[in-house]
């Protein structure tokens, strides 16, 4: 699936290697930007789901995101050819590649006067509203949020959230322990009364601040792996009276050979506004982010981080960054299986956006002398639910031409296999390569 977005004079492709695009006025944080006063700094997000469908959602913008004359709420809406889409006052073009070389697209048209009036009316209603239309982000371990929660001012939400989960003995015990630790947020209680991570237990912390407030990112550790769920907390402390448009956090890969702004793998809209802060407000917000399958591995060329934003209307935004280390358990298992055979992985470099790894491994010393081989070229590539491995030996005195051996693992079988079974499989493939 290949989809092209046009916003002002800029275009951007959306596909499975770049499934999310942020639209807004801030060219430093948005992949598609337009310097237009009707467009918020981070206005909307377009993303591709696993089924190839394209969705758009508003990020708490001042002038809204509109599809066929309807203003979007916090829930994403699927896009389709023939729709008319506006980001603020600016039209958004979406074009799909069709089978046989054809194209289908949304309709790009100038903003009609009646739409302009609707936007102005909606913005006035938002400014007069007492609170934001969305509370905590939904997470698996979170207790049910009471009715009317989203309509409460932020300073009342913490107290009611604590009250809603206080009936569980496990929650009571966790609350008592946190009270002794001086933490003012209750634990989240999951199925069977199990207590999820609390801010007191999330000891890896980073924060950012300016004159408008402080944003804290709290995590259980600084190391994560592919296909895992990253649970954490954001805590926003307001130090001034400002209008907050939204608060969100995103998982970002920075690769030396990739995009200079990094690649956003997942993004969580933790709270959508707008709402007016009071000086001294403290708002705790749990979040979840999903780590993709074929992640690049942290190293000299690749770095990972969580970026949190408080998008403040017409004032300086608050940003916090928490560097993290990313592992890949599939690659580690292959490395350990070769190591058990006394083959040492020398180098294994991740491509930008992961999915492919290139390097070399060294045979045992006695085979180096016997075969006159010091290095075996080594490629690993994710292919959907499979993992393809390619080994290659360059020609030498023993081999008159390059020799190549390819094989494929089903990911579920590789992950379930023992280290011994994986090593035996590699030994068989290496024997074929050397025969």
- The CATH number of whichever domain residue 206 belongs to comes to 2.60.40.640
What sign for the dihedral angle of Cα 419, 420, 421, 424?
Answer: positive
Dig out the tokens for 138 from the structure.
């939904």
- Does 367 lie in the same domain as 313? no
Tell me the range of 11-15, 158-162, 191-195, 406-410 where mean pLDDT is highest. 406-410
Q: Which residues of 220-239 are buried (b: 16+ CB within 10 A; e: fewer)?
A: eeeebebeeebbbbbbbbbb
| pTM, rounded to two decimals | 0.68
Domain boundary residue, one of 292, 326, 360:
326
The region, left, alpha or beta by phi > 0 then psi within -120 to 50, assigned to residue 8 is: left
Q: Which residues of 414-425 are buried (b: 16+ CB within 10 A; e: fewer)?
A: beebeeeebbeb
| Mean of the per-residue pLDDT values of the chain | 81
Tell me the range of 18-32, 133-147, 217-231, 273-287 where mean pLDDT is highest. 217-231
Q: How far apart are CA 196 and CA 194, in angstroms?
A: 6
* Mean pLDDT confidence for 105-130: 78
The region, left, alpha or beta by phi > 0 then psi within -120 to 50, assigned to residue 367 is: alpha
Q: Is 189 among the domain residues?
A: no
What is the number of structural domains in the chain? 3
pLDDT at 142 over 50: no
Q: Is 178 among the domain residues?
A: no
- Does 346 lie in the same domain as 333? yes
Q: Is 193 among the domain residues?
A: no
pLDDT tens by residue, 89-100: 999 999 998 777
Q: How far apart are CA 148 and CA 337, in angstroms?
A: 55
- Does 347 lie in the same domain as 420? yes
Q: Is 182 among the domain residues?
A: no
Dig out the tokens for 147 from the structure.
């009715």
pLDDT at 195 over 60: no
- Does 342 lie in the same domain as 307? no
Domain boundary residue, one of 326, 361, 395:
326
- Does 385 lie in the same domain as 364? yes
Q: Is 181 among the domain residues?
A: no
- Does 303 lie in the same domain as 266? yes
- Does 347 lie in the same domain as 322? no
- Does 321 lie in the same domain as 337? no
- Does 341 lie in the same domain as 262? no
Please say whether the beta carbons of 79 and 94 come within 8 A.
Answer: yes
- Does 387 lie in the same domain as 272? no
pLDDT at 85 over 60: yes
- Does 310 lie in the same domain as 334? no
Enclosing domain of residue 358: 329-434
Q: Is 246 among the domain residues?
A: yes
For residue 213, count other CB atoms closer than 10 A to its CB: 24
The pLDDT of residue 309 is 92
Domain boundary residue, one of 281, 310, 326:
326
- Does 281 lie in the same domain as 209? yes
Q: Is 171 among the domain residues?
A: no
The pLDDT of residue 103 is 79
Q: Is 249 among the domain residues?
A: yes
| Between 40 and 174, the higher pLDDT residue | 40
Please classify residue 428 by burial: count the beta carbons closer than 10 Å to its beta carbon, then call 0-12 exposed, 13-18 middle and 19+ buried.
exposed
């Amino acid at each position: 699936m290949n989809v092209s977005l046009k916003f002002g004079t800029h275009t951007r492709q959306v596909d499975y290697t770049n499934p999310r695009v942020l639209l807004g006025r801030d060219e430093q944080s948005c992949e598609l930007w337009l310097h237009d006063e009707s467009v918020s700094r981070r206005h909307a997000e377009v993303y591709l789901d696993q089924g190839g469908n394209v969705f758009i959602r508003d990020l708490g913008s001042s002038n809204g995101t509109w599809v066929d004359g309807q203003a979007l709420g916090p829930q994403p809406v699927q896009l389709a050819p023939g729709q008319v889409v506006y980001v603020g006052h600016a039209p958004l073009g979406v074009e799909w590649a069709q089978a046989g070389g054809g194209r289908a697209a949304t309709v790009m048209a100038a903003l009609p006067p009646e739409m302009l009036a609707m936007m102005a009316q909606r913005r006035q209603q938002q400014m007069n509203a007492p609170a934001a239309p969305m509370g905590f982000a939904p997470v698996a371990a979170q207790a049910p949020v009471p009715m009317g929660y989203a309509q409460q001012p932020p300073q009342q939400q913490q107290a009611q959230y604590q009250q809603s989960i206080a009936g569980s003995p496990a929650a009571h015990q966790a609350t008592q322990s946190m009270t002794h630790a001086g933490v003012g947020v209750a634990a989240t209680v999951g199925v069977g009364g199990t207590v999820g991570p609390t801010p007191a237990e999330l000891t890896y912390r980073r924060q950012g601040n300016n004159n408008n407030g402080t944003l804290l990112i709290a995590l259980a550790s600084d190391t994560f792996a592919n296909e895992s769920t990253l649970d954490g907390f954001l805590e926003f402390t307001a130090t001034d009276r400002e209008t907050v448009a939204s608060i969100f956090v995103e998982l970002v890969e920075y690769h030396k050979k990739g995009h200079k702004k990094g690649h956003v793998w997942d993004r969580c809209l933790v709270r959508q506004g707008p709402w007016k802060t009071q000086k001294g407000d403290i708002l705790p917000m749990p979040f979840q982010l999903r780590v993709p399958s074929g992640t690049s591995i942290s190293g000299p060329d690749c770095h990972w981080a969580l970026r949190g934003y408080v998008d403040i209307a017409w004032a300086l935004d608050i940003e916090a960054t928490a560097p993290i280390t990313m592992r890949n358990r599939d690659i580690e298992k292959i490395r350990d299986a070769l190591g058990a055979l006394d083959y040492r992985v020398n180098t294994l470099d991740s491509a930008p956006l992961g999915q492919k790894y290139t390097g070399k491994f060294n045979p045992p010393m006695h085979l180096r002398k016997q075969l006159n081989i010091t290095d075996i070229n080594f490629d690993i590539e994710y292919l959907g639910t499979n993992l393809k491995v390619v080994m290659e030996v360059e020609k030498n005195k023993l081999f008159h031409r390059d020799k190549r051996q390819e094989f494929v693992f089903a990911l579920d079988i590789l992950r379930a296999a023992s280290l011994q079974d994986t090593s035996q499989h590699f030994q068989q493939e290496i024997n074929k390569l050397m025969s």
